[in-house]
Amino acid sequence: MSGHSSPRSANVSSRTTKIISITLILSLVLGSLVLLRVGNAQGLPAIKLEPKFINAKAGERFEIQIKVYGATFPNSEVYSWQVRLDFPIATFEVVPTIFYGPFMSAPRVGYWGLLLYNAPAGQMVVNVTEGSRFSVGQNVLIRDDLHSENNSIANIQGTKITLDTALAYSYSIAANAGCYPYPTLSIAGSISNTGTGTFGQTTNGPNPGAQGDGLLATIGFYLEQDVAAVLNINNIYTKIVNTLGTALGDDPGELEKQSAYSVQSGDITADGIISGNDLFSLGKDFNKCPIQTRSPTATSSPAPAWTGPTNAYKPDNLAASAATPPGKIQDYKTFGFPTAVWTGVGKVEVGLFARIGSGGDDQIRVSVSNDGGTNWSGTTATVSPTITAYSVMFWVDLTAAYGWTPAGVANIAVRIMSVQVGGVMTTVYVDWVAVRVTPTPTSSSAVSDVNRNGIVNGADLTSLAGQFGQQYGN
């Protein structure tokens, strides 16, 4: 999945050569149907990071999605894709796990899968237009305009496909019935906190490749500081590869590539420009307080303690952990909420970015204190991290633990304790302990508090006015 660049003077000829090659080969392979489609005008395919503008605050976790748009047969359907993501490590800290979307794993739809005859419910055979496109053991989708179901292939004889199980529904050629194979996928590359990462998916199966618009992947980030910065994919290593192995994007102008921009300082509406829309949003929130999410800066334990407790200060794939014996306790403190300007507290939540060892079913009990850990509320909550990778922030509502006041939140502490459920204690991991508080009066936007002092007031208006007209993005 490597890329290359061409000299600027060769851009036009290189692109032209690709188009000619694609047209000639497809003409030979797929005949007049392809010639007709090549003549149709096609838009430029695109890979984009969404949202384009990010309005998170420092100390918060957010996610970006990598999406593809306008993938069309025959030139830009996707058989393989690759993204190189570059980011400033002083501003963004990546949560290394990449969650791939459903776009590439969708069944391959082509004329060769159309049914030749109706297929009644209870039957184990479907007849397709071209059986050579299928293979024994392959998972398939059978569908028409009314029904759909998944199955797998037990045998193939010409156009006759025998399924592993009987059809649950009847399928009619009048309702565009077809049988379409699911592709197999392989994943390459990764991303880490080195400021760059190259990753993607390659698929196998009959042409055409994946088409249309869809989600390729989701990646989580932790924002280190409130500055404008770019999550950049605008390079030659971001590309898609079509059925014939021809890459789009390794030469300039072949593929639209839209990066994402962290613009949280003053761009309240996250539209890429500080304008009257931001002034209007700030005006709606004037003298109100935004919802705050904060991380701890101190930890202690009455023993036995968790291993690596400071690793839970932020989500960076370095975790606090607790194994045998159960009942290990760790306290987290000094969250630094700006409570002086609050008139009340509406909601208090604790979040754990957690996972469990393979095969485990153990839990984490969460307690809170409103006096810095001297005393603890009898109202607790339980987190069951049944997943083995960091992908979910488990939030628990502990508003009922106290009659919360701003002073109580200023002295909030969180205790986590490992709890054994089955016969053996499995290691539990916590990558981040966070507290989210909804103060009163509450603003409608998390970023109207431009200077982040806990209240939307004249100081935020002055700061926004000083940035008025500033634009972000490309």
Over the stretch 273-317, which tens digit does the pLDDT of each residue have?
999 999 999 999 999 999 999 999 999 999 899 999 999 999 988
Say what the pLDDT of residue 9 is: 33
- Tokens found for residue 219: 């990646």
Is the pLDDT at 260 greater than 50? The verdict is yes
Each residue's pLDDT tens digit, 75-112: 899 999 999 999 999 999 998 789 999 999 999 888 99
Is the pLDDT at 438 greater than 50? The verdict is yes
What is the DSSP secondary structure assignment for residue 367, as one 8-state letter? E
Say what the pLDDT of residue 40 is: 33
- Tokens found for residue 321: 């952990």
Q: How many helices (H) and strands (E) does the chain have?
A: 5, 28
Say what the pLDDT of residue 453 is: 85
Closest of 345, 375, 347, 350 to residue 365, by C-alpha: 350
Say what the pLDDT of residue 178 is: 97
Say what the pLDDT of residue 316 is: 85
Say what the pLDDT of residue 386 is: 87
Say what the pLDDT of residue 41 is: 37
Each residue's pLDDT tens digit, 26-77: 333 333 233 223 333 346 899 999 999 998 888 888 999 999 999 998 889 9
Alpha carbon distance 216, 459 (integer Å): 41
- Tokens found for residue 56: 């998170």
Alpha carbon distance 428, 461 (integer Å): 45
Cα dihedral angle (385, 91, 288, 267), rounded to 10 degrees? -120
Say what the pLDDT of residue 474 is: 64
pTM of the model: 0.81
Alpha carbon distance 399, 121 (integer Å): 54
What is the DSSP secondary structure assignment for residue 18, as one 8-state letter? H
Mean pLDDT of the chain: 88
Each residue's pLDDT tens digit, 108-150: 888 999 999 999 999 999 999 999 999 999 999 999 999 999 9
Between 236 and 451, where is the model more confident?
236
First to last CA, the chain: 27
Is the pLDDT at 20 greater than 50? The verdict is no
Each residue's pLDDT tens digit, 363-410: 999 999 999 999 999 999 999 998 888 888 999 999 999 999 999 999
Alpha carbon distance 291, 181 (integer Å): 47
User: Is the backbone peptide bond immediately before 441 cis, with ω within 30 degrees of 0?
Assistant: yes
Strands (E) across 283-362 are located at: 292-294, 298-300, 320-322, 329-333, 344-356
Is the pLDDT at 171 greater than 90? The verdict is yes
What is the DSSP secondary structure assignment for residue 165, as one 8-state letter? S
According to DSSP, the residues that pair with 273 across neighbouring strands are 471
